[in-house]
Chains A and B, each alone.
Chain A
């Protein structure tokens, strides 16, 4: 776990900036690139929290695989909607910007609160246990216990779900081709 708080603040600034850019930007390609940055920052947060395995999965699935699928979707859709901008759509864009800024404002207020807690102006009312001093071995063994013993049926169900999705796509595409 990276102990230096500067990493947290830099990652927070990047994730807030690119989230807002991703939602406000009208160009869908720029929006997608900003979303990729957000997903990688999410992986960085997982790493900062000590979950390296989740960070790798997040970076591989959401940082690489999902943006490729979205890119393909943008390619075949050809950005048709950009040609037909009406007044109603502009109003929706305005509402989106407004509510994104509103949620940003809520976040800033919340951040002020946690900074005040950090400097002990406010009492730390929500009692949390001490962070367990763990090693990578502990995390991996906890994953193994969770996936293969405690949640083995959920894990098998998820595997089945992924298999059904892949088989379903293949069948649908074959039927459409024929």
Chain B
């Protein structure tokens, strides 16, 4: 009965990751948790890219390539965000995001 894994299954996993990442980035108080939530959002988007690359792209696999670029850009963004956090932490002495009102 449930032997066929369709495109929808993967898309909804991507949707779940994006939603949890979104709510986590909005409501988490710890800045590291906010960054992890943003990475969850990126993972959801990547799952969607690869899913569309598998099911809709034929032999071009452009979704795979976009996902690869996203992983690279995500790593860069993460490194820059953590460096900003490092600089801000030295001033604020806290990882609570409510205290990070100015850059």
Contact = CB atoms under 8 A, between A and B. Distances in A.
A and B physically associate: yes
B50 A54 contact: yes
Interface residues of A, number: 83
Contact of B61 (A96, A103, A146): A146
Interface string B76-101: 10111011011001000111101000
Given A31-B33, A142-B61, A57 B71 contact: yes
Given A73-B86, A146-B61, A154-B69, A12 B8 contact: no
Contacts of B103: none
A114 B6 contact: yes
A95 B20 contact: no
A110 B3 CA distance: 18
Interface in B40-54: 40, 43, 46-47, 50-51, 53-54
Interface residues of B, number: 70
Given A23-B28, A51-B67, A38 B43 contact: yes
Contact of A117 (B8, B32, B36, B59): B8
Contact of A49 (B10, B22, B76, B94): B10
Interface of B: 1-10, 12-13, 15-17, 19-20, 22-24, 26-30, 32-33, 35-37, 39-40, 43, 46-47, 50-51, 53-56, 58-62, 64-65, 67-69, 71-76, 78-80, 82-83, 85-86, 89, 93-96, 98
Interface of A: 5, 8, 12, 15-16, 19-20, 22-23, 28, 31-32, 35, 38-39, 42, 45-46, 49-51, 53-54, 57-58, 61-62, 65-66, 69-70, 73-74, 76-77, 79-81, 84, 88-89, 92-93, 95-96, 99-100, 102-104, 106-107, 110-111, 113-115, 117-119, 124, 126, 128-129, 131-132, 134, 138-139, 142-143, 146-147, 150-151, 154-155, 158, 161-162, 165, 169, 172
